[in-house]
A and B are shown apart, each in its own frame.
Chain A
Amino acid sequence: MYERAKYLPAGDQGLVVEFGNDISPELNNKVRSFAFALDCTGIPGLAEYIPTYRSILVIYDPMVWKFESLVTRLRELEGSLASMKLPQPRIYHIPVVYGGEFGPDLPFVCRYTGLTEEEVVEIHTTTKYLIYMLGFTPGFPYLGGMDDKIAAPRLDTPRTSIPAGSVGIAGRQTGIYPVESPGGWRIIGCTPIKLFQPFNKRPVLFNAGDYIRFFEVTPGEYRRIARAVEKGEYPVKVEDYIGGVG
């Protein structure tokens, strides 16, 4: 983490506030604090912002702001972060059916790691994964914290289509595909939960800075939950994460 953030121009309307150059929960929490401070302060002439692992891209209106004046204003905000009281991070409990037709690569992950299917599922469901950022496709969570014991390389040739809800492993990362898309991750399971619902008031389920924990369901439970999700009658279990980075 840098002593003071770097303020870098990204074109005539973009400003990157960079807090460091590594991936860590502490650094990411600084990004989250800054984003929260922007939300609370409501600085005029800012269109939107994109928080990521270690920086935040702020889109501003050059008819309102000169670069230097905006940097000065944002440095003030940066200075006030220490006294900022962040809301408690939350944990989303996400049902996943592992293996079989839902997780065609689970046998590969077992062969690669030397673990049984039960052991891989046990390890995958024990961890609380920090959502570092959302990007790539609408609602795609970049998750941190996966146990190296179940790490497995990407497919040599990516699949042209992976169903929405697929849960995969790529190297030391795990994640969920929110929409059908091509991809090279090893698919170990699938969730019936919809991560991206464009017609909802709140189109994306997760927020950066919150956590995900997976729990195993049977194919029968998957189908029941999927039907409830279709009707808008499945509330994802969410709880405050006491002891999370907050």
Chain B
Amino acid sequence: MALLRIIKPGLLTTIQDRGRFHYQKWGVPVAGAMDEYALRVGNILVGNHENEGALEITLFGPEIEFLAPGLVAITGADLGARLNDLDCALWRSFRVRKGDILQFTGLRSGCRAYLAVAGGFKIPEIMGSKSTYLRGSIGGMDGRALREGDELENEIQVNNINLTVREAPPAYRYKPANSQVVRVILGPQHDAFTQEGIMTFLDSEYKVAPESDRMGCRLDGPAIRHKNGADIISDGIAMGSIQVPGNGKPIIMLADRQTTGGYAKIATVITPDLWKIAQAKPGDSLRFTKVTLEQAHKIYRQYENNIRILAAKFNGANGTRPE
């Protein structure tokens, strides 16, 4: 029996888990949640494995009817979620009953929200992942965004009575803002840029361009100068790589990025700051500040440990422990 039905699909609602790994050597993009932090926390709040698929909801969200009782959580952007016309708390799981209507009534802050459901979604894994890769038409719901009338079932039937409502402590809830400072590690090709070009990159404010999508966040702002042109011999692209084509305008490569590319990469966004990019919408501004790799690893370990602590806090007895 289906858990929910899509009444209106919203602008772009897809199923995403953490991504499709191990196939990049064959040119298959990772896809996956743009904001892996919000996805993982959402899954923890409903007692799922952190890698379970959830709905990634972009800017203008869907209208959803629940066809069975369940426990759900919304994390990430504040897109005005209301259940039966009452505001929903974010970063906190809540129960839904058969016949409840969840609507996203309008953008308040951020860009992408995640709806995780206890028991996950019954979606076939393709190359080990439920993530939707739109350009390749694979994963998720037949390789496409959700449409009116789509119904989704639980992967695992959960006894909702035993599931407790969980709330992420305040320190775990970020606040998307219209302007963010993003930490980066320089390289791997910062040598391809003039000293002045690197200073331009680190000292300027960049605005998110409207052509941004799941593949890349395109930025408008002062052009970054190369020493001898933008082209390199095509090589691998990591999540958060910032490539600079000939026009000098940086592009942050994201979930649906191609695996390889031929533009010089000036820097890479650190993993714990990727949510800031995922939550930046067209018109928002970003500034970049550099950290050393050593600092970045310290920040990364803190970030990862915090998520583990949150999971451990709730999963003491497989999520069935009363609070």
Residue of A nearest to B242 (CB): A11
Q: Do the beta carbons of B136 and A137 come within 8 Å of each other?
A: yes
- Residue B103 interfacial (CB < 8 Å): no
* Nearest chain A CB to B312 CB, angstrom units: 15
* Nearest chain B CB to A223 CB, angstrom units: 24
| A115-135 to B contact mask, C-beta < 8 Å, 1/0 | 000000000000000000111
- Residue A92 interfacial (CB < 8 Å): no
How many residues of B are counted as interface, with CB atoms below 8 angstroms from the partner's CB atoms?
43
Q: Do the beta carbons of A21 and B233 come within 8 Å of each other?
A: yes
- Residue A87 interfacial (CB < 8 Å): no
Distance of A53 Cα from B233 Cα, bound (Å)? 7
Enumerate B230-244 residues with CB–CB distance to A below 8 Å: 233-241
- Residue A189 interfacial (CB < 8 Å): no
Contact A11:B269 (CB < 8 A) given known A55-B236, A62-B301: yes
Q: Do the beta carbons of A135 and B233 come within 8 Å of each other?
A: no
- Residue A88 interfacial (CB < 8 Å): no
- Residue B202 interfacial (CB < 8 Å): no
Distance of A19 Cα from B138 Cα, bound (Å)? 34
Q: Do the beta carbons of B233 and A50 come within 8 Å of each other?
A: no
* Nearest chain A CB to B18 CB, angstrom units: 11
Q: Do the beta carbons of B27 and A140 come within 8 Å of each other?
A: yes
- Residue B174 interfacial (CB < 8 Å): no
* Nearest chain A CB to B81 CB, angstrom units: 32
Distance of A51 Cα from B265 Cα, bound (Å)? 17
Enumerate A52-83 residues with CB–CB distance to B below 8 Å: 52-57, 59, 62-63, 66-67
- Residue A2 interfacial (CB < 8 Å): no
Residue of B nearest to A23 (CB): B233
Q: Which of A98-106, A150-158, A198-206, A233-241 contacts B (4 or more CB under 8 A)?
A: A198-206
- Residue A208 interfacial (CB < 8 Å): yes
Contact A50:B236 (CB < 8 A) given known A136-B27, A139-B27: yes
Q: Do the beta carbons of B187 and A135 come within 8 Å of each other?
A: no
- Residue A49 interfacial (CB < 8 Å): yes
- Residue A35 interfacial (CB < 8 Å): yes
Q: Do the beta carbons of A16 and B188 come within 8 Å of each other?
A: yes
Q: Do the beta carbons of A10 and B236 come within 8 Å of each other?
A: yes
- Residue A22 interfacial (CB < 8 Å): yes
How many residues of A are counted as interface, with CB atoms below 8 angstroms from the partner's CB atoms?
47
Residue of A nearest to B190 (CB): A8
- Residue B268 interfacial (CB < 8 Å): yes
Q: Do the beta carbons of B26 and A11 come within 8 Å of each other?
A: no
- Residue B271 interfacial (CB < 8 Å): yes
Enumerate B17-55 residues with CB–CB distance to A below 8 Å: 21-29
- Residue A26 interfacial (CB < 8 Å): no
- Residue B313 interfacial (CB < 8 Å): no
Q: Which of B90-98, B151-159, B162-170, B292-300 contacts A (4 or more CB under 8 A)?
A: B292-300
Distance of A198 Cα from B20 Cα, bound (Å)? 12
Taking a contact as CB atoms closer than 8 A, the residue among B138, B188, B239, B268 that contacts A198 in the complex is B138
Enumerate A4-30 residues with CB–CB distance to B below 8 Å: 8-14, 16, 18, 21-23
Q: Do the beta carbons of A51 and B25 come within 8 Å of each other?
A: yes
Q: Do the beta carbons of A138 and B238 come within 8 Å of each other?
A: no
- Residue B148 interfacial (CB < 8 Å): no
Neighbouring A residues of B105 by C-beta, 8 Å: none
Taking a contact as CB atoms closer than 8 A, the residue among A13, A139, A179, A198 that contacts B271 in the complex is A13
Neighbouring B residues of A208 by C-beta, 8 Å: 25
Contact A55:B241 (CB < 8 A) given known A9-B188, A14-B268, A50-B260: no
- Residue A221 interfacial (CB < 8 Å): no
Q: Do the beta carbons of A12 and B236 come within 8 Å of each other?
A: no
Distance of A137 Cα from B24 Cα, bound (Å)? 10
- Residue A47 interfacial (CB < 8 Å): yes
Contact A48:B25 (CB < 8 A) given known A9-B188, A10-B236, A11-B241: yes
List the interface of chain A (C-beta within 8 A of B). Answer: 8-14, 16, 18, 21-23, 35, 47-57, 59, 62-63, 66-67, 133-140, 142, 178-179, 181, 196, 198-199, 203-204, 208
Other 18 A-B pairs with CB < 8 A, given A12-B185, A49-B25: A9-B188, A10-B188, A11-B241, A11-B269, A23-B233, A47-B21, A48-B22, A50-B237, A50-B259, A52-B233, A53-B235, A134-B27, A135-B234, A135-B260, A136-B258, A138-B27, A178-B27, A181-B135
* 7 CB < 8 A contacts A-B: A9-B187, A51-B25, A53-B233, A134-B26, A135-B261, A136-B258, A196-B28
